[in-house]
């Protein structure tokens, strides 16, 4: 069964500028600007006044209705990104061989994982920065404005330390996301 009209509104916070032109959304804020293309989804994206965005979808089935909330979440995440940014914390887990992680240019290099000589390299995506935590041992912080790039970089770091050809119940070594969310305000 098709729903005649599915509509949802998003409030624009203060200090954020949103520009919508034929489903191409650009968001500007104090931390920078983000753009995203929603042309693959057939829906109406409109700016209502200066304080809200309305997403309309006409005559949609179940699968298309799910896209309304998804698009709203993406735009919401863009607004959070340009106002406060996103922070992912990752912890090193090892039983014997200490994992050594350093930044070399725009790559993160992982050495001595399970005592292997191979150096694993993960490229930092656009707008993503790497920092080693001073207060906590064996922890790194990945920050950026775009949640997709920050989370994808963390996923690539975690997947580069997958244990192969060993019992996964015994070999729990790796680099795992311990905390994620918006950068807290001071």
For the stretch 2-28, pLDDT in tens is 999 999 999 999 999 999 999 999 999
Tell me the torsion sign for CA atoms 63, 69, 71, 73.
negative
Position 186 scores a pLDDT of: 75
- In angstroms, the CA 28 to CA 19 distance is 8
What is the band of 185 on the pLDDT scale with cuts at 50, 70, 90?
Answer: confident
**113 close to 97: Cβ distance less than 8 angstroms:** yes
Please write the tens of the pLDDT for every residue from 24-50: 999 999 999 999 999 999 999 999 999
Residues 93-112: tens digit of each pLDDT? 999 999 999 999 999 999 99
Helix (H) or strand (E) holding 61: none
Average pLDDT, the chain: 96
How many residues make up the chain in this entry? 186
Q: What percent of the chain has pLDDT over 70?
A: 100
Q: What is the pLDDT at residue 183?
A: 95
Tell me which residue of 50, 51, 63, 48 sits closest to 6, measured CA to CA.
63
- What is the DSSP code (8-state) at residue 174? E
Query: Among residues 54, 21, 57, which one has the least CA distance to residue 41?
Result: 57
3-state helix, strand, coil in the chain (%, to 5): 20, 45, 35
The pLDDT tens digits for 52-76 are 999 999 999 999 999 999 999 999 9
Instruction: Provide the token pair at 150.
Output: 């920050």
DSSP 162: -
In the chain, what's the furthest Cα-to-Cα distance?
Answer: 60
Element (H, E) at 11: strand 3-11
């Amino acid at each position: 069964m098709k729903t005649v009209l599915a509509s949802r509104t998003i409030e624009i916070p203060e200090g954020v500028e949103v520009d919508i032109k034929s489903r191409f959304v650009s968001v500007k804020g104090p931390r920078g600007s983000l753009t995203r293309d929603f042309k693959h989804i057939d829906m109406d994206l409109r700016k209502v006044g200066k304080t809200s965005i309305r997403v309309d979808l006409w005559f949609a089935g179940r699968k298309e209705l799910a896209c309304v909330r998804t698009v709203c979440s993406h735009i919401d995440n863009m607004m959070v990104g340009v106002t406060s940014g996103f922070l992912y914390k990752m912890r090193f887990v090892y039983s014997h061989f200490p994992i050594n992680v350093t930044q070399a240019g725009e790559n993160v290099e992982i050495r001595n994982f399970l005592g292997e000589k191979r150096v694993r390299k993960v490229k930092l995506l656009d707008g993503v920065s790497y920092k080693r935590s001073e207060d906590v041992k064996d922890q790194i912080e990945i920050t950026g404005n775009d949640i997709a790039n920050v989370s994808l970089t963390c996923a690539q770091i975690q997947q580069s330390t997958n244990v192969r050809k060993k019992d996964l119940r015994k070999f729990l070594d790796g680099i795992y996301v311990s905390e994620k969310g918006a950068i807290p305000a001071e």
